Structures are given as structure tokens and as C-alpha cells.
Amino acid sequence: MVINKIIFHDKLLFMKRKIIGILIVLCVAALVGKACINRDIPETDAPVLRKKADVILHDYKQPENKTVNGIDYLQSQNTIGDFGGDMVLSTIGEGPKTFNPFNTKDNISSQMSEIMYDGLVTTQPVTGEVIPKLAKGFEVNGNEYIIYLRKGIKWSDGKSITADDVVFTWKDIILAGFGNTSIRDSIVVDGELPTVHKIDDYTVKFITPKPFAPFLRMLATPIAPKHIFEPAVKKGKAYFDTFQSTNIKPEGLVTSGAFKLKEYVPAQRVVYEKNPNYYEINKNGDKLPYLNKIIYLIVGDINNEVLKFEGGELDVISLQGANVARFKEMEKHSDFTVYNIGPNTGTMYLSMNLNNRKDDNGKFYVDPKKQFWFSDLNFRKACDYAIDRKNMVLNIANGLAEPLFTPESLNSIFLNKNLKPYDRDLEKSKELLRKSGFYWDKKGHLRDKFNNHVEFNLYTNAGNTEREAIGVMVKQDLEDLGMKVNFKPIEFNSLVNKLVSTLDWDMVIMGLTGSPLEPNGGKNVWMSNGTLHMFNQRLEKDMNSKRLPWEKRIDYLYEQGALAINFEDRKKYYDEYQEIVYEQKPFIYIYSPIIIVAIRNKFKNVFPTPLGGVTHNIEEIFEKGIN
């Protein structure tokens, strides 16, 4: 799971490699297995849209293995297209911080780096099953995973992709703890890590300590070219942390994906060009991708993004609820189509800082009086009952969302449907506050039993107009209880630094990417030592500090949920963890939008799916009539 600044087009574009996303110190990808803080939350409902998306969805044909002259290609089964043309997308914020897929600490960096690197497997965008990618096939026997690599395929510099690259990636980078350790941390079983062994040049065996249900999906993790990454690993972890930064020359990046870096202009654009050595072909035997370039414009905020799409500068855009009706009307006379992708697989929430530990100077990360408020369950529940979710759905999402109360998304196959929604209830909030000794002074200000006025800062990421709107409404809802809320939208990377590094924050509105197929993707959020355990984040020196009783129970449930093999056994564990979150309120969930995306009609082989988005098959998409 990854911190989500906004679920934007990059995510839709490359979800085929990972349904979840990559974390923010944090990020691994979608069906790979971690949560990531997410960047945007498009939304929408409209049955008229859903009908169009459903019809196209069924036309998608999955690529098949095809061996030609001893080379094991993937072969597209969809319409043969025209070669050439570019696709222009966008991203909010300041752009990537690294192009090293193992060092990413934010959603944009992980997306920008992983465009260039494929994993052994990926997720079928219609069914959600695990299917081969760099691998030609695989076998699972209990706790053993045999991976058969494609023979004859090459890195972008012409060198062969072999078992040595796979073993090096997993043994010397991931399992050795280089870069972002969230993948490694999420596959520990009873204190042990998996092992990886080379059988021959094109066969690899992974062995987990016990049968481990999420592991196969985690093999979607990018594979690194050993001949490029090994010298950096030999120089140590400190060097590796700066390896392949955004200062690197594009020719220094050796990749396996459909596109490779051509140009990066800070705060302006990231340009990728087709990889001539990519291993997918069309039915004529011509090498894909069809498009020459993928271009990401780095835009300042969502309003600017909308203006650029309307001005013809962008080819794809995720729409927030407020814009959907207007775009549907414009669609009748414009050159784009609006698609309903289905429910968002991520979650959006309000969280309070429960950390009661001290920094190296002996100072509490959180003001002690605020610790008293935030650690009080009645206070958290009072805030929860004060939030008017229905009003937010109506006025921010234009009715194209549903109130959310659980950490699993509404379309998750593991959703605990016994956890019932409830309406705003200020009287309930006040009753809960009184139970903990809070009272109101003559001016209506809320005070704790020590006579402290309840005042705190509320953060979200600037430029995301939806979250900023939610922040304004949360501020008003909580001020109806006599609290003083200082709402402070700040730049995304600065906010992330507060959440997971300095721990200097009070309340925050953020989002997490997620998978409707695999809860273990949230392990880095819910395990007490997780790199995204934001509400009670532990730095390295704090890892052995005392856990709250319910944190300890969630640790146990996540461990057992991953070890159970059949669905019903797993669901019992994940049902209980949702019950604990529902009761303890470390995150107060807000609403779950429906994703709406608009894409120019000139692009063909577009097959929207709820799991893959609009451009999950980017190597097959082509621009009609470009030649």
C-alpha cells in the first residue's frame, strides 16, 4: 500500500504491474503488497457511464506466450495498430525524487521509476488473477515457487535478462535491506525471510518459511539489471540511497519495461520513449509498444490539470465529482470519452497522531496535552460522529461516492459487511467528550479537564482541491464541537516528511492506495513496526517500544491472515482487524469515490477495467491514423 497524493493517471496507467502501488518509504505496488499514500481521489457513479465501460471491458484479450526464433515473447491479441504518436498525461506536485524503483519514498517517484521496470508477474486487469510478465510461467507447490523466465529477452542496452538478475534483485537488494525495506518487511514469516535460488539461467526457485498466501503477488516487484545495480550495492547502503537519482542522465538507466527515460525537466515534465528491446509483439510479429513517447506534464494543482486537458495539452485526466457532469455534457461535442472505472480501491481518512514517544533530545513528538486528547478513545469517537460524511459526498463528490467506515474499500472481497454505517450525531459526540472530562466554557470553547482549550493543526496536501475541500468541512464539523482547528494544506513531500520522519503533526487528511484482492498490501500500515503505521509511527530507535493492546492484536491478525491459505480462513482474520479499526478509530474514514477518467478518442485498444484503469495495456494502445 502506498501513500496516495492523488490516484492519478499514472496509477491507472501502470496498475497492470501492481495493483497496489509502491510505498512511500514506503511504496510497493499494487498487488505487490504495500500501502502507499495516494495522490488523488477521482470519483463518479453514473450508470450511463458504467454501461460503456462494461461493454468495452469484455473485449479485452490477454496477451499470450509466443516463441519466435527461440525468443519467448508476449504476443498481443488485440487489434493491430499504427506505430507512432505520443500520449500526454499529468501528475500533481513537484515531480519524482528518484528513478530507482527500490528507493521510492512517494507515490510519484514509484510510478515514474516503475514505468521502466517490469516484475516477474502482473495482475490480469479483468479477473485479478496473477499472470506471468517477465516470467513465461510459474508453478506453486506449497511454500515453493518455481519461476520460468522468458528466453532471449533483453534489457534496453541489449544484454540478456536471466536468472542472475532475478536472484540478485531479491537476494542482494530486497532481502539484504537496500533502499526501501517495505517489501522485505512484509514477507517476514515467523521472523524468517524467503530464500531465492538459481536453478539454471532461466529458472528460479523461491522458498517461503511457510505457505504464504500473498507471496505470489509480491513477485510483481521490479527486477533490476544486475550489471547496472551490482556496483552500487557493493558501495553500500548509503551510496545506494542516492543511486539513480533524478540527476542521472537518461542513458544511464537500463530498463525492461515498454518505455525508458528520455528527458526529465524538473517541475515541468518527464518524457519516456519506447524501449526497442521490449518483449511484446503484435500478431504481425512487430515489436510493441505502438506509441513513441509517454509524456508526463508536472502541473501545479488539479484546477490547472483540468485547464490543460480542456486546452488540448493532456490526453487523459481523472475527474473529480464536481467536474463529471460538465465533462459528460462536453463529451457530446468533444474529442474524448468519459469512462466509469468503478469504485476506488483506495481509502481516504482523517487520522490523529497517537505517538507518545520522545525524540533524541528527550522532547515528545506530540505536545503532551494533545497526546491526552488523541489517545482518548472517546475523543476520537467524538470526532468521528461529528464528521458529516453525507454532506461531503453531496457537496464535494457531487453524490458520486459512498460514506466509508472501514479500512477495506467498498469493493474489497474481504470487506466486513457487518460493520454498519452511521450518520453524523453531535449529541453523541458531546456525550462522549463529557465522559472523558471535557467541558465547554462560557464562550462555547471545548476544554479538557485540565482547562486546556482544545486547539490543533489539521494538515493535507496542497494542490489537491478535493482534500482541501474536505479539510474545510472537517474543520467546520469539529469547530461545531468548540474545537479550534488550524487547517494547513502543505506541499505533499513536506507532509510525508512530517508523517513518517519528523512525526511533527496533529491531525491529517490523507489517502492510501489499496487492493480489493489482497489485504496484506496494507501490512506496512497496520503492523506496529510498519513504515506507514502513521498514527503511531515508530522510527528505527523506537521499534521495540510498547505496543497498544489493540495494535498487538492487529499484528497477530495480519500475520495469521497471510499464513492462512483458503479464503474463508483468511477472511476471519481480516474481518476482526476491521472490527478493531472500526472500534478504535486510528483512522476515521471519510468516503469512497468512484473513479471517472476521460481519454482522447484518437487512442485505440483502450479497455477500461476496475482493476487496471483505462491504460493498463499501454504497450498495446495506439493513436489511430498517426501514419
**Quick one: pLDDT band at residue 513, thresholds 50, 70, 90?**
confident
Q: Is the pLDDT of residue 92 over 60?
A: yes
Decide if pLDDT at 473 tops 90.
yes
Q: Confirm if 403 and 390 have CB atoms less than 8 A apart.
A: yes
Tell me which fold the domain 121-239 belongs to: Dipeptide-binding Protein; domain 1 (3.90.76)
Specify the pLDDT at position 172: 98
For the segment 557-575, the average pLDDT, to the nearest whole number, is 92
Give the per-residue pLDDT at 185.
Answer: 84
What is the percent of the chain where pLDDT is above 90?
70
Backbone angles phi, psi at 117, to 5 degrees: -130, 125
Percentage of the chain exceeding pLDDT 70: 91
237 neighbors 173 (Cβ within 8 angstroms): no
The winner for highest mean pLDDT among 410-419, 472-481, 536-545 is 472-481
What pLDDT was estimated at residue 3?
57
Question: For the segment 30-73, what is each residue's pLDDT rounded down to a tens digit?
Answer: 333 344 444 332 232 333 333 344 434 458 999 999 999 999 99
Class of domain 347-515+586-594: alpha beta
pLDDT in tens, 385-420: 999 999 999 999 888 889 999 999 888 889 999 999
Q: Which residue has the higher pLDDT, 193 or 4?
A: 193
Check pLDDT > 70 for residue 26.
no
**Residues in CB range of 521: below 8 A, 6 or more apart:** 1, 19, 20, 30, 31, 32, 33, 34, 35, 214, 514, 515
pLDDT (0 to 100) of residue 55: 39
Taking the domains of the chain in order of start, what are their residue ranges? 2-115+257-340+595-623, 121-239, 347-515+586-594
Superfamily in which the 2-115+257-340+595-623 domain is placed by CATH: Periplasmic binding protein-like II (3.40.190.10)
Q: What is the pLDDT of residue 397?
A: 87
Q: For 8-12, 83-87, 385-389, which range has the lowest pLDDT when averaged over its residues?
A: 8-12
Question: What pLDDT does residue 58 have?
Answer: 55
> How far is 574 from 483, CA to CA, in rounded Å?
34
Using alpha carbons, select from 217, 240, 212 the residue that is nearest to residue 28: 217
pTM for this one?
Answer: 0.78
Report the pLDDT averaged over residues 117-141.
94
User: Would you say 412 and 519 are in contact if contact means Cβ atoms under 8 Å apart?
Assistant: yes
pLDDT value for 270: 97
> 144: part of which helix (H) or strand (E)?
strand 144-149
| Adjacent-strand bridge partners of 317 | 598
Q: How confident is the model at residue 432 (pLDDT cuts 50, 70, 90)?
A: very high
